[in-house]
Structure 1
């Protein structure tokens, strides 16, 4: 399927919010102070349109159908050393709402951290996820990073895609009460 990739904009929130929540599940509840998918998706949709945090349009790359321009998937990514700073607006929002704000930051220094990879249901199995993963190499190069990292649950079907794409386990973490594998892929230095 021919794809185009573009930076997301605030206007993409209605597409992105529910798709992000579908991908992150319980983590979305924890990050938004909600207790169900519908409320978390609504909160993420509102947050997506605001800059400066880990679920914002400004850290999002969209994959779209080349012919129609319809968004099909997305990748939220940022340098791992920015994790704390990008989580702080969410922590502040949680504290203001009277919710716990002690979730761990996920990215590791030295890597482009892939926070969320999500593909719309109708576009799954058509190369959108793989295309987004390949496009992240350019983002890593632009930032001078030679590793891309992510967290994945053992039972997540995307684990097979990550393995085929060269991601290897480097550790484990626990988030929202669930165990995740920390995977990384080395990328060559940007061509001169």
Structure 2
């Protein structure tokens, strides 16, 4: 019998697991956020932000799904009304690189915004993503937020998971040159 999936808060020491998954998942958004010109450069910049508090990529915004000692996936989420403040460190980084200090904040006030949901390839299809989304619903409720929101790029297969959990389309947005559907879920109380 295999061990159950456990969801736990991340620590700064989870950076080596979480950061590559974040960049692999967000791609061009990570490039725009960090000012890097490659996925490797973006991940390297993100590694510097992950152990710090007060930014969108901080470990304090991350949940890790694990089976025993093996991490299987991660969810990065924060209250949507804090998105602008959490993006300030990235604006400062871009300015220090001589780039336009423009970061498109993604979160919407009134929701817990799921910035990134990623599951290792080996753990896909095993309920890890759904477990992380249920944990996000618990976080939303604990923070007094009645909904969970996220952006999904057109054609992303994860949209079927989101719909199965209960997310519904609530509009579209353009971000870092891509078109995304804003999906919202109001979990049962």
TM-score normalised by L of structure 2: 0.95
Please report how far the alpha carbon of residue 106 of structure 1 lies from its aligned counterpart in structure 2 after TM superposition. Answer: 0.6
Alignment partner of 1:140 is 2:128: no
Aligned residues: 187
Contact 2:166 2:187 in 1 (8 A): no
Deviation digits for residues 18-53 of structure 1 (CA, Å, limit 9, x no counterpart): 110000000010111111111111111221111111
Structure 1 partner of 2:120: 120
- Alignment gaps of 5+ in structure 1: none
For 2:156, what is the secondary structure of its paired residue? coil
Measure the CA separation in 2 of the matches of 1:91 and 1:120. 30
2:36 aligned to 34, 37, 58, which one? Answer: 34
For 1:187, what is the secondary structure of its paired residue? coil
Please report how far the alpha carbon of residue 149 of structure 1 lies from its aligned counterpart in structure 2 after TM superposition. Answer: 0.4
Greater mean deviation of Cα atoms: 99-108 or 20-29 = 99-108
Alignment partner of 1:6 is 2:8: yes
TM-score normalised by L of structure 1: 0.94
Please report how far the alpha carbon of residue 171 of structure 1 lies from its aligned counterpart in structure 2 after TM superposition. Answer: 0.8
Structure 1 partner of 2:77: 77
Which runs of structure 1 show a deviation greater than 2 angstroms over 4 or more consecutive aligned residues? none
Measure the CA separation in 2 of the matches of 1:18 and 1:133. 20
Deviation digits for residues 74-131 of structure 1 (CA, Å, limit 9, x no counterpart): 1111111000010111111111121222121111111010010011121111111111
Structure 2 partner of 1:25: 27
Structure 1 partner of 2:98: 98
- Alignment gaps of 5+ in structure 2: none
CA RMSD, 1 decimal: 1.1
Structure 1 partner of 2:50: 48
Contact 2:172 2:182 in 1 (8 A): yes
Measure the CA separation in 2 of the matches of 1:92 and 1:3. 38
Measure the CA separation in 2 of the matches of 1:70 and 1:51. 25
Please report how far the alpha carbon of residue 132 of structure 1 lies from its aligned counterpart in structure 2 after TM superposition. Answer: 0.3
